[in-house]
Amino acid sequence: MTTVDTQAKSIRHKNIILLIIGLAQLMDVLDTTIVNVAIPTISKNLHIIGVNNLQWLITTYGLTYAGFLFLSGRLADIIGHRKIFMIGVFLFGASSLMAGLSSSSSLLIVWRGIEGLGAAGIAAASLSSIISVYSEGKERNRAMTIWGTLVGGGVALGLVLGGVITQYVGWRWIFFVNVPISAVVLLATPYFVPKLPGQGTFSLKKFDILGAILLTTGLITLVYGLTKAPSYGWGSSRVVEMLATAVILLAAFIFNEIRAKEPLLNLKLFAKGNIAVASVISILVTGSNGAMLFFLAIYNQQVLGYSPAIAGLTLLPVIFIAFAALQIVRKLLDKFGFKPVMIVQLLILAVGLFSLIRLPINGHYLTDELPSLIVIAVGLTASIGLMVAATNGVKEKDSGAISGILNTAQQIGGPLILGILSTIAATYTVSSIIVNNKLNALAHGAHAAFLTSAMLVLLAAFLCAVFVRQTTTTDS
């Protein structure tokens, strides 16, 4: 076999690896949004009464997902990315099947929690596998582009499929669709995804158990408090107690890591490369994008009167335009590097978000909303540059930890920014309803949220311009 044949085979093999990882990641991301649209139908079918009970269908998944992300990434570094990936896929597929078969809200909530645990394993091992398998530069940029397309597009696609599947097939199928995909991924992984070098042997004596407990419980408490803030209010005793407890647990975790002989998290990682600033930017951008989708859903359904299926379909252009833009972005990354490209993308995203403040109560999708979505779709591709920046120079032995950090930042950013923007939107809605009708008041609240989102993305662009470094190596 010639050298060219060997290289071609290697490229094909890596493409298959990316396809396997991408399918699993797509399931993972889809499930964060696909359930949202089906909530009213699930509530009626399973006789779930009260908003507090309904929100557990979303919150439980988010809690276990965010709480175990970093731990999954660290375990991937120790016992192997492939092993954690397969465990995550199995848990996700099995719990999806059981969630679809659930006959009560209690069972559904339990299986949603296990789904989140599996999703954490998939997310942490997916990104770390890409870092390990693909060489830094053009090859990794291409892999990140495809992976990022699935992540970004999966959020919007979840809203689309959630409405369509619920309305025309039945809510249980939003869980059942995961089962065959999980089976295919699980069967293909041992044949195509390699056991990566540099992995150690797990030992309870050497593993930082206290650090794992403090970090996981701290993150779960933090996300729970952030999720409850919009409902109970940021100043409520319940939210304050949860957030204070989270701060204490995470502070204890940091203190433990400083003293531990073999810490769960090497704190020196935050002082190297772009990991710290990338995490902050990720919180701002991921949270702003998620909040944008949330308030657009409210605008389309409550102000414009669209059905859940139609409201979901309005986001389809975002997926297609972002995919087309990513092909150009990949070439720009290769030519100019991630920093200048990411700054321009974030500025474009900010412009798109800012343009949403002109949405009227009697608006038309094609003339009022679609132009903004086209600009936003181009700006959303900034997530690729962010991932390239964060993993720039990362050593393979730290890939799981870095993956856990970045994914955790994204999971924290969602409820944190949405909680803040929900409070701002509610304040403007209440103050506006005195002099306006209900639809005008809702629109004003959404406008305030869109404006704040744009300002947060501008802050992210500033942080990128000032603090992001285009380096080539990161030492530990």
Answer yes or no: are the C-beta atoms of 176 and 100 closer than 8 Å: yes
CA–CA dist 271, 257 (Å, integer): 15
Q: Is the pLDDT of residue 11 over 50?
A: no
Render pLDDT for 417-449 as a digit per residue (tens, 0 to 9): 877 887 888 777 777 665 566 777 778 888 888
pLDDT at 248: 95
CA–CA dist 186, 23 (Å, integer): 11
CA–CA dist 353, 364 (Å, integer): 17
- Reading the block at residue 129, the tokens are 């596998």
Percent of residues, the chain, with pLDDT higher than 70: 85
Render pLDDT for 313-329 as a digit per residue (tens, 0 to 9): 787 787 778 778 877 88
Mean pLDDT of 256-283: 81
Question: How far is the first Cα of the chain from the last one, in angstroms, to the nearest whole number?
Answer: 39
pLDDT at 476: 42
CA–CA dist 353, 380 (Å, integer): 11
pLDDT at 372: 92
pLDDT at 205: 59
Residue 392's region, left for phi above 0, alpha for psi from -120 to 50, else beta, is beta
CA–CA dist 302, 442 (Å, integer): 8
Tell me which residue has tokens 């689309």. 160
- Rounded alpha-carbon distances, angstroms, from residue 215 to 75, 209, 220, 264, 399: 14, 10, 9, 9, 18
CATH top-level class of 268-476: mainly alpha
Mean pLDDT of 241-248: 92
CA–CA dist 82, 75 (Å, integer): 11
Tell me which residue has tokens 């979901």. 312
CA 144 to chain centre: 15
- Reading the block at residue 404, the tokens are 């856990």
- Rounded alpha-carbon distances, angstroms, from residue 407 to 68, 167, 404: 10, 32, 5
For the chain, what is the total number of helices (H) and then of strands (E)? 18, 0
Q: What is the DSSP string of 18-56?
A: HHHHHHHHHHHHHHHHHHHHHHHHHHHHTT--SHHHHTH
28 phi/psi in degrees, rounded to 5: -55, -50
Q: Is the pLDDT of residue 96 over 90?
A: yes
pLDDT at 100: 92
CA–CA dist 383, 387 (Å, integer): 6
Answer yes or no: are the C-beta atoms of 136 and 110 closer than 8 Å: no
Which residue ranges make up each domain of the chain?
1-197, 208-263, 268-476
Query: Which of 43-47, 95-99, 277-281 is least confident?
Result: 43-47
Same fold, 1-197 and 268-476: yes
Under the banding of pLDDT at 50, 70 and 90, the label for residue 30 is confident
- Reading the block at residue 99, the tokens are 């969630």
Residue 69, C-beta contacts closer than 8 angstroms, at least 6 positions apart: 120, 123, 124, 219, 404, 407, 408, 411
pTM for the whole structure: 0.76
pLDDT at 241: 92
Mean pLDDT of 357-379: 87
Task: Classify domain 1-197 by CATH number.
Answer: 1.20.1250.20
Q: Is the pLDDT of residue 51 over 60?
A: no
- Measured in residues, the chain has a length of 476
Mean pLDDT of 114-136: 83
Mean pLDDT of 112-124: 89
pLDDT at 187: 93
